[in-house]
Structure 1
Amino acid sequence: MEERLQKYLAEAGVASRRKSEELIAAGLVKVNGKIVTELGTKVDPKKDEVVYRGQVISKKEVEMVYIMLHKPEGYVTTAKEQFGRPSVMDLVRDVKERIFPVGRLDYETSGLLLLTNDGDLTYKLTHPKHDVDKTYHAKVYGTPDDMDLQMFRRGVFIDGVRTKPAKIQIIEKGERQSLAEIKIHEGKNRQVRKMCEAISHPVAQLKRVATGDLELGDLPKGKYRHLTATEVKYLKKL
């Protein structure tokens, strides 16, 4: 059965589906000896030979890997970085399969980050239409009052666009800072930080503690673990 080339590459563990589209457009993929740049190209896994950077790609040889990492602050969520800053990939170097992050956490943010070579799952978890909840614990300056919280919950304007409704509750109050639990299901760049700035309570510290019902728990910072079969099944159902 034929399938789109980018989907084939993603399921073979080459890269996420979106990244695979970039690889195709850049002319780095060959089908039956010819460079292909059209994203609509379809291939038959049983008949066609797909080559990326001189290596024949086959889905049958790839073992799917699903990892939860407790990302520390001070790491970028990319394989390579132009300024030479540490990458989350440096923390999983003993994983032999080629894996990639599911979405991103910004440089200053810690917490739950999924890594996998399952491009199809990555696509589903990061695509806006699937609305997967992401839960954060945010230390914010000051204490948002009821009006601030209602504004946040209705959605605020960041970068000229109104965010979707979100959830927020204050779980700890302090003299200078408060701890808030925030749930969003979008993935805009630095969204939680920008939303908190929009209600005049900037973030001092931010940590993602859950994706859907999958929780970070007591996994130490900088460490990772493989997901259980039950957890993988749960993610695929989202």
Structure 2
Amino acid sequence: MAWTRRYDDAEPQRINKWLAQSGVCSRREAEALIGEGLIYIDGERVEDAGRKILQGQTLTLTDKAEGRLEGFTAVLNKPVGYVSGQPEPGYTPAVRLLTKEALVGESITIPDSRMSLPPLGRLDLDSHGLLILSNDGVLAKAVIGPQSELDKEYVVRVAGRIDPPKIALLQHGLELDGRQLKPARVTAQGQVLRFILTEGRNRQIRRMCELLDLRVMDLLRVRIGPLNLGDLPEGRWRVLSASERQAMIAASRGRQGMGSATW
């Protein structure tokens, strides 16, 4: 089904600017789609790259345009021992797990060595769980762009004494690399901590715990924004659905999920 949206602002706006602000594509991508005749307003093909959309008009992207923008996105339950991105000597990249045999559900595309699928939010060698691998530029901006407000949720088993003062510091008050960390949501049940973060510094959770004499024994990422790991088996993958993609792009523009850390 083609992407369709009504323009409701009072002031006219250039199509490419509106699509970029809506998180659909970049201005350059919008201009390319117009040049190929893949954008319509009220059923009329848009031919002028500088055209403005008016209040009450409806813009439609053809199925071909949507396919061009979405690229390919895999949702993987990464095991420990695989690196997210470019491997160091002796290590295996997680993208190697995207085989036909490991697929859950269906996919027209099975990635091969020629397809570049960088991780949208790294998960270190010793951690496991939800990992997104994608060449979708719009989705990448939504997940890891500087303006993204998607949060990420982790279940972390630690060794060491856990007490209320340490939980309070994990929530807000710690610094890494000379910069204060953003507030986090942290709850505890026994030796298991549940973190919800809105930033992703290098090995952030492990380093936060080390500052408080807590040693991470296991770290599992279970959610990125509205996308949950669910019951996807470890080492298996599936294709991100169109509705999930749209939900993540929409959620990246507004805070959500911070209240989901419950046991």
Structure 1 and Structure 2 fold alike (TM over 0.5): yes
Deviation at residue 236 of structure 1 after TM alignment: 1.4
Provide the rounded CA distance (Å) in 2 between the counterparts of 1:84 and 1:90. Answer: 14
> Match of 2:90?
84
Deviation at residue 98 of structure 1 after TM alignment: 4.1
> Match of 1:212?
225
1:184 aligns with 2:191: no
Name the count of aligned residue pairs: 190
> Match of 2:210?
197
Deviation at residue 234 of structure 1 after TM alignment: 0.6
1:150 aligns with 2:168: yes
1:67 aligns with 2:74: yes
> Match of 1:100?
118
Provide the rounded CA distance (Å) in 2 between the counterparts of 1:231 and 1:60. Answer: 15
Provide the rounded CA distance (Å) in 1 between the counterparts of 2:238 and 2:186. Answer: 29
> Match of 1:127?
145
Q: Which amino acid aligns with 1:118?
A: D
Contact 1:157-1:198 at 8 Å conserved across structures: no
Q: Percent of aligned pairs with the same residue?
A: 32
> Match of 1:117?
135
Structure 1 residues 118, 148: CA separation in 2 closer, same or farther (over 3 Å shift)? Answer: same
Q: Which amino acid aligns with 2:81?
A: G
After TM superposition, the score normalised by the length of structure 2 is 0.64
Structure 1 residues 70, 60: CA separation in 2 closer, same or farther (over 3 Å shift)? Answer: closer
Q: Which amino acid aligns with 2:74?
A: I
Runs of 5+ unmatched residues, structure 2: 1-13, 37-64, 101-109, 252-263
Deviation at residue 202 of structure 1 after TM alignment: 2.0
Provide the rounded CA distance (Å) in 1 between the counterparts of 2:227 and 2:195. Answer: 15
Provide the rounded CA distance (Å) in 2 between the counterparts of 1:67 and 1:73. Answer: 18
Q: SS of the counterpart of 2:82?
A: coil
Deviation at residue 143 of structure 1 after TM alignment: 3.6
Contact 1:168-1:181 at 8 Å conserved across structures: yes
Q: Which amino acid aligns with 2:132?
A: L
Contact 2:186-2:193 at 8 Å conserved across structures: yes
Larger Rg computed on CA atoms: 2
Q: Which amino acid aligns with 2:184?
A: A
Deviation at residue 63 of structure 1 after TM alignment: 6.0
Structure 1 residues 223, 145: CA separation in 2 closer, same or farther (over 3 Å shift)? Answer: same
Provide the rounded CA distance (Å) in 2 between the counterparts of 1:43 and 1:218. Answer: 37
Deviation at residue 121 of structure 1 after TM alignment: 1.3
Provide the rounded CA distance (Å) in 1 between the counterparts of 2:177 and 2:210. Answer: 12
Moved more, 207-216 or 120-129: 120-129
> Match of 2:106?
none
Contact 2:226-2:248 at 8 Å conserved across structures: no
Q: SS of the counterpart of 1:195?
A: helix
After TM superposition, the score normalised by the length of structure 1 is 0.70
Contact 2:157-2:219 at 8 Å conserved across structures: yes
| Structure 1 segment 135-146 matched on structure 2, within 5 A | 135-146=153-164
Structure 1 residues 86, 194: CA separation in 2 closer, same or farther (over 3 Å shift)? Answer: same
Provide the rounded CA distance (Å) in 1 between the counterparts of 2:226 and 2:31. Answer: 36
Q: SS of the counterpart of 1:108?
A: coil
Deviation at residue 42 of structure 1 after TM alignment: 10
For residues 11-53 of structure 1, what are the alpha-carbon distances to aligned partners after superposition, in whole Å with 9 as ceiling and x for unaligned? 99xxxx9xxxxxxxxxxxxxxxxxxxxxxx9996349xxxxxx
Q: Which amino acid aligns with 2:250?
A: K
Contact 1:128-1:186 at 8 Å conserved across structures: no
